[in-house]
Amino acid sequence: MKIVLLDAITFGETKLDCFEALGDVHTFASTEASLTQLRIENADVVVTNKVVITKEHMQSTPSLKLICVAATGMNNVDLEAARELGIEVKNVAGYSTDSVVQHTFSMLFYLMGHSRYYDEVVKSKEYSRSTVFTDVSHPFFEIKDKTWGIIGLGAIGREVARVATAFGANVIYYSTSGRNSSDEFEQVVLHRLLESSDIISIHAPLNEKTKNLLNYEKLQHLKEGAVVLNLGRGGIVNEEAVAAIVDERELYFGLDVFEKEPLPESSSLLAVKHPERLYMTPHIAWTSVEAREKLIASVCQNIKESF
């Protein structure tokens, strides 16, 4: 069995030994679109994280029986074409929940605690020259008794809600699909969530209902000092709107996902006058060592179950 890994660089240093036990493995760190067809030639199994697999790729690879998406989202594979051609497509769900939840709080603490400022004030020796033992110039607040609004109450959203509650937050949520419900937390309409929340975290997929969900007009409804964290998908929060509003009001945004990844050098997010109100990470919330190990093990298991 020929197994082709198209973008193994996304797995970092995670061991890929389990693939070797399953067949003849061809591993590529990354694959440009122009090389995809050549690299999957005669493959029985293709493993992809973000490399796009089109109907034409499938039609030109009659040996192909299984496409393993090393992620939860499968928007990089033409699923309809796969069904038509009898090619199985498998993803992996739930492997990164703990990692994403942890990064959600990491982003919150960085922004809410003004970590960038306080770290720099010590390292620059400004604190050393101070006549006061402390620095309260950048006030921060406790999570306790704050309203935490969650957009997207799936597995990750529910776990964030559980941890937020442990900190003493009052959790409300907006279901982007309209299907998720909870007896534990209050479901509200979007405008009420935006107006009421001190902290908002997004854990929703990108689709017709969530595309540009938080545009400039919607962001105007946020409370002064509110923190918004997007760990769902880029495109849910309008990036141009974020770049504009952080220079107009004291609002804070943590962004781990972007509409185009990597983030273009020309992005307006990289030219704001108040960068301290932005904390941006390169789509890493899912990448804890443990999460990547679970991911690889699950992909190998998906292959075993199909042959």
> How confident is the chain (307 residues) per 10-residue block, as mean pLDDT?
98 96 98 98 98 98 98 95 98 97 98 98 98 97 98 96 98 92 93 98 95 98 98 97 98 98 98 98 98 98 97
Please give the positions annotated as active site.
233, 261, 283
According to DSSP, the β-strands at 252-255 and 186-187 are: unpaired
pLDDT given at position 181: 81
Q: Summarize the chain as % helix, strand, coil (round to 5).
A: 35, 15, 50
**CATH number, domain 97-280, options 3.40.50.970, 1.10.10.10, 3.40.190.10, 3.40.50.720:** 3.40.50.720
- CA–CA dist 299, 188 (Å, integer): 37
pLDDT given at position 81: 98
pLDDT given at position 180: 77
pLDDT given at position 54: 98
List every span in the chain annotated with CATH 3.40.50.720.
Answer: 2-94+289-306, 97-280
Query: In whole angstroms, how far apart are CA 182 and each of 101, 162, 185?
Result: 19, 12, 6
- Does domain 2-94+289-306 bear CATH number 3.40.50.1820? no
